[in-house]
Amino acid sequence: MEKVFRGFYTRGRCFAGTAGCVLLLLCTANTVLVQADTYEDWQRMRDIPRSGYVANRAGSRIEIDGRLDDAAWREAVWSDRFQDIEGTVKPRPRFDTRVKMLWDRKYLYIGAFLPDPHIWGTLTEHDSVIFHDNDFEVFIDPDADNHEYYEFEINALNTGWDLFLDKPYKDSGKADNGWEIPGLKTAIHIEGTLNDPSDIDQYWSVEIAIPWKALNRHAHHRYPPSAGEQWRINFSRVQWQTTVEDGKYKKVPDVREDNWVWSPQGIIDMHRPEKWGTVQFSTQQEGTVGLNPDMTENARKMLMEIYHKQRANHRKTGAWWTTLEQLGIDSAKAAGVVIEQTEAGYRAKISLADGRTACVTQDSRLRIK
């Protein structure tokens, strides 16, 4: 039951409860998820720019000890500071968070810096629902098709939760907690004291090495990525508000968690891979190669517009539309769009200038062929 239940977690919406509430919560979660995925949600997401980062090749060995003081890290640039998951419509996060990324033949390296005056953690069991503690999270969709992506969460106790999603929860995706990252290396460094509220802490830093081999299958080619290759990645920091009672941290009741992210999603849901940032892999060891513009970006945006309009209509009428007129999309702005009915629903396609075709289906899978 526990396993099924976890499948209904969605970032930012925590349906945690006691075992006795599980059945009720399953219904609630389903309902909430369906209601949460509206065209209005998409309007909030659509025009928020996605973040970008060029990950250089590590110039020297990185020791995974939680400290980001290795020579290789010193040469890597910091990402932009994290924003609220909903973007600039919400206040700037209380604490600044940044990441760095590097890679070599065997690993993707991630270093995160999380200032926090009160560092705490409770979960020690692998594959626990880590965002019940303050945490740092990584989401990776190597081929940017919105499906088949990886998630990893870690708390200040260095307890990890690795899972695989076949597709987003809103498209009836199921989390596979059985997915593991063989050879994963993680460490936390705490500048301060853990679970001791009597002082003011400085920060915790997270150092992660993910073997390419573990990401290989859904990258759909052999590792490591080639120079200039771009993946969809996002990072999230969950931060709960706490008080101190009897010398222990306690979450402030009825206050939901903050979600601070690298690439803002526009809504409180990390499971919208179309809004994750772009990470471009460079074979340079120093300096910054520019981020190449994604020539598929406009086509992707149009296809997701169609997907969300189709979804809203399908929810209302049970039917899929087949023309731009029905969708209320100006054909002058959607030149070259073709919508075909399929057994499962529909397929919307756009021909790209380079001869490839971008295509989305009713389950939000978006592929470039």
x/- mask, Ca ion, residues 57-86, rule CB under 5 A, reads ------x-x-x--x----------------
> 170-176 long-range contacts, Cβ below 8 Å, gap at least 24?
170/10, 170/33, 170/34, 170/36, 170/37, 170/269, 170/271, 170/364, 171/147, 171/363, 171/364, 172/363, 173/147, 173/271, 174/7, 175/6, 175/7, 175/9, 175/151
Rounded Cα distance between 125 and 102, Å, is 28
Q: What's the min distance (Å) between Cβ of 192 and Ca ion?
A: 5
Does 145 contact Ca ion by CB under 5 A? yes
Rounded Cα distance between 205 and 187, Å, is 8
Does 196 contact Ca ion by CB under 5 A? yes
Tokens of 276: 């994750």
Q: What's the min distance (Å) between Cβ of 76 and Ca ion?
A: 12
Among residues 35 and 241, whose Cβ is nearest to Ca ion? 241
**Nearest by Cα to 210 from 102, 73, 330, 93:** 102
Q: What's the min distance (Å) between Cβ of 163 and Ca ion?
A: 5
Q: Which residues, listed in sequence order, are joined to residue 108 by a DSSP beta bridge? A: 103, 210
Q: What's the min distance (Å) between Cβ of 179 and Ca ion?
A: 5
Among residues 192 and 211, whose Cβ is nearest to Ca ion? 192
x/- mask, Ca ion, residues 99-138, rule CB under 5 A, reads ----------------------------x-----------
Does 274 contact Ca ion by CB under 5 A? no
Query: If DSSP codes are grouped into helix, strand and coil, which group holds residue 326?
Result: helix
Does 191 contact Ca ion by CB under 5 A? no
Q: What's the min distance (Å) between Cβ of 178 and Ca ion?
A: 6
- According to DSSP, residue 280 is labeled E
Does 177 contact Ca ion by CB under 5 A? yes
Residue type, 343: E
The residues binding Ca ion (CB under 5 A) are 63, 65, 67, 70, 127, 141, 143, 145, 148, 162, 177, 180, 192-193, 196, 199, 201
